[in-house]
Amino acid sequence: MKKYNVAVVGVGVVGIEMLRSLRQRKFPVADLSVFARSARDIEVDGEKISVKATSPESFEGIDIALFAGTEGEKGAAVTYGPEAVKRGAVVIDNGADFRMDPKVPLVIPEVNPGDIKNNKGIIANPNCSTIQMVVTIYPIYKKVGIKRIIVTTLQASSGAGKSAVEQLKEENKKINLGDYQNIHVHVEGKAMPQQLAYNVFPHIGGFADCEYTSEEWKLVKETHKIMHDDKIKISATTVRVPVRTGHSESIYIETTKPITPEVARDILSKSEGVVVIDDPKNSLYPMPKDAEGKDEVFVGRIRKDPFVKNGLWLWCVADNLRKGAATNAVQIAEHLI
Please list, residue by residue across 259-270, b when 16 or more beta carbons sit within 10 angstroms of its beta carbon and e when fewer do. Answer: beeeebbebbee
pLDDT tens-digit profile of 258-295? 999 999 999 999 999 999 999 999 999 999 999 999 99
Query: What mean pLDDT is predicted for residues 218-240?
Result: 98
Average of per-residue pLDDT across 48-57: 96
Percent of the chain clearing pLDDT 90 (strictly above):
90
- Amino acid, res. 163: S
Least confident of 186-195, 239-248, 326-335: 186-195
DSSP run (H or E) holding 130: helix 128-144
Q: Tell me the three state secondary structure of residue 295.
A: coil
How many Cα atoms sit within 13 Å of 220 on the Cβ side? 17
pTM above 0.85, yes or no: yes
Residue 107's pLDDT is: 98
* Confidence at residue 301, expressed as pLDDT on a 0 to 100 scale: 98
Cα(181)–Cα(329) distance, rounded to whole angstroms? 42
Q: What is the pLDDT of residues 77-134, one digit of tens each?
A: 999 999 999 999 999 999 999 999 999 999 999 999 999 999 999 999 999 999 999 9
Domains, in order of start, for the chain = 4-125+325-336 (3.40.50.720), 130-320 (3.30.360.10)
Pairing status of strand 247-255 against strand 146-155: antiparallel
pLDDT in tens, 169-198: 999 998 888 877 777 776 777 788 899 999
Q: What's residue 74's pLDDT?
A: 65
Percent of the chain scoring above 70 in pLDDT:
98
Binning pLDDT at 50, 70 and 90, where does residue 75 land? Answer: confident
Half-sphere exposure of 326 (CA within 13 A, CB side): 28
Q: Per DSSP, what are the bridge partners of residue 33?
A: 7
pLDDT at 70 over 70: no
Under the banding of pLDDT at 50, 70 and 90, the label for residue 69 is confident
- Give the pLDDT score at 209: 86
Least trusted range by pLDDT, from 58-72, 137-151, 178-192, 320-334: 178-192
Asked if pLDDT for residue 251 goes beyond 90, the answer is yes
What's the confidence (pLDDT) of residue 225?
98
**pLDDT, position 186:** 67
Whether 71 has a pLDDT exceeding 70, the answer reads no
pLDDT for 73 beyond 70: no
DSSP labels for 210-277? GG-BHHHHHHHHHHHHHHT-TTSEEEEEEEE-S-SS-EEEEEEEEESS---HHHHHHHHHTSTTEEE-
pLDDT in tens, 299-325: 999 999 999 999 999 999 999 999 999
- What are the residue numbers of the active site? 128, 247
